[in-house]
Amino acid sequence: MPWANGRGTSYEIASDRNSSDEWSWRLAMAPVNEDGPFSRIDCVNRSLVVVEGAGMVLSVDRKKLQCHPLQVVQFRGEAITEAALIDGPITDINLMVRRKDATGAMHIVHQAGALASTSIIVAVNGPARVQCDETLVMLERHDALLECDSHSLALESGSVCVVSVQTR
Distance (Å, rounded) from C-alpha 25 to C-alpha 5? 19
pLDDT(149) > 80: no
* 95 and 118 together in one domain: no
Distances (CA, A) of 146 to 1, 90, 129: 19, 23, 14
CATH number at residue 33: 2.60.120.10
CB 158 within 8 A of CB 129: yes
* 94 and 121 together in one domain: no
* 67 and 149 together in one domain: no
Distance (Å, rounded) from C-alpha 11 to C-alpha 31? 9
Q: What is the mean pLDDT of residues 98-110?
A: 96
* 146 and 119 together in one domain: yes
Residue 156's domain comprises 107-167
Q: What is the pLDDT of residue 46?
A: 97
Q: What is the mean pLDDT of residues 65-88?
A: 97
Q: Is residue 81 assigned to a domain?
A: yes
* 120 and 86 together in one domain: no
Q: Is residue 138 assigned to a domain?
A: yes
Q: Is residue 57 assigned to a domain?
A: yes
Q: What is the mean pLDDT of residues 86-98?
A: 97
Q: What is the mean pLDDT of residues 37-46?
A: 95
Q: How many domains does the chain have?
A: 2
Report pLDDT digits (tens) over 52-74: 999 999 999 999 999 999 999 99
Distances (CA, A) of 15 to 23, 156, 163: 7, 26, 12
160: alpha, beta or left, given left = phi > 0 and alpha = psi -120 to 50? Answer: beta
- Which of the listed residues 79, 101, 123 is the one where a domain comes to its end? 101
Q: What is the pLDDT of residue 104?
A: 95
pLDDT(99) > 80: yes
Q: Which amino acid is at 81?
A: T
pLDDT(89) > 80: yes
Q: Is residue 2 assigned to a domain?
A: no
Residue 119's pLDDT band, with cuts at 50, 70 and 90, is confident
Q: What is the pLDDT of residue 151?
A: 73
Residue 4's pLDDT band, with cuts at 50, 70 and 90, is confident
* 22 and 90 together in one domain: yes
Q: Which of 104, 47, 46, 41 is nearest to 78 (CA)?
A: 41
* 57 and 112 together in one domain: no
* 60 and 142 together in one domain: no
Q: What is the pLDDT of residue 126?
A: 84
* 96 and 116 together in one domain: no
Helix (H) or strand (E) run with residue 14 in it: strand 11-15
* 17 and 61 together in one domain: yes
* 43 and 64 together in one domain: yes
Q: Which of 38, 9, 13 is nearest to 25 (CA)?
A: 13
Q: What is the mean pLDDT of residues 22-37?
A: 96
* 56 and 116 together in one domain: no
Report pLDDT digits (tens) over 10-27: 999 999 999 998 999 999
Q: Is residue 4 assigned to a domain?
A: no
pLDDT(150) > 80: no
